[in-house]
Amino acid sequence: MYVLMCPCVLNPELRARGITRESDLHAFGRAIERCRSFGIEIVPLPCPETLYLGKDREPGTFLERLNSGDFSLILKELEEDIRDIIARKGPPLCIIGVNSSPTCGVDTTFYGSDDDGSAKRLGRGVFLDRFTDIPAIDVQVFSRYHVYLAAPLFSAAERRFNEWLSGVLARHFFEVYLPQEAGEDGCERGIDAQHAIFTRHCEALSHMDVVVAVIDGADADSGTAWEMGYAFARNIPVISFRTDFRRAGVHEHVNLMLEQSSCVVHGEEDMLKALHSPFFLD
């Protein structure tokens, strides 16, 4: 299992002068950490811009700096090199690119404009566009892989379901915080233990990239609902996982407030797509 990774993720000095922010460096580090944590081999892509313009270069669009026959020849030669790697190793899991890059953008690219329109446009950069047969994901999205699994955990059935769901997420390279593994069972714990569990879960929630919340039942579990509200207030995305076919009304499954503050999914595949699993990329 390997990924093709935009080279500036591994070496930010390859980027054009002055464009790298602290948030970029954080995402780059987390993306590399995710690969290493799950044993995913990283195969760096070459950097066409560095080969053509050098390391110390000003930012610019494709039309401004790269729109030449010489650069097209570089792209062609580099594509052949990467195709040779793929022929030897088999297809990669995905390409990890960097949005807005004229060459390695995934969803957006600074292509440039011949008129007064925006220099940025939707689509891949000119290098990644040569590999449309391979799914690609922006490094900022790939770097968000810490999941808090909010769910009722008071019966054997609930706990087994949570363990199954945690296993599904782990197989898609998500690191899961499962509250039932971090708290004490039973109802005889003291005030100090209750406070410690509450503090531990709040601290974990505060550092998560996303919350997956199980909202099965005639009404959502109260603790799960609180965790969803806490996450929403901190701008942490929430995905509500509901397998229960009952509905509370024409337009709601269980609770209007919970559903309006989250993305509701009804099956394993839809949940993984909402999380941008590397196995479910377009």
Residues 183-219: pLDDT tens digits?
656 556 678 888 888 899 899 999 999 999 999 887 8
Q: How far apart are CA 248 and CA 4, in angstroms?
A: 46
Q: What is the pLDDT of residue 238?
A: 97
266 contacts: CB under 8 Å, gap ≥ 6: 241, 242, 243
- Dump pLDDT digits (tens) for 6-42: 999 999 999 999 999 999 999 999 999 999 999 999 9
For the domain 146-280, what is the CATH code? Answer: 3.40.50.450
- Distance set, CA 184 to CA 153, 181, 211, 222 (Å): 11, 8, 21, 18
User: Is residue 132 pLDDT above 80, yes or no?
Assistant: yes
pLDDT tens digits for range 92-102:
999 999 999 99
Cα–Cα distance for residue pair 188/124, rounded to 1 Å: 57
Given a contact cutoff of 8 angstroms between Cβ atoms, the answer to whether 7 and 28 are in contact is: no
What is the domain partition of the chain in residue ranges?
A: 2-142, 146-280
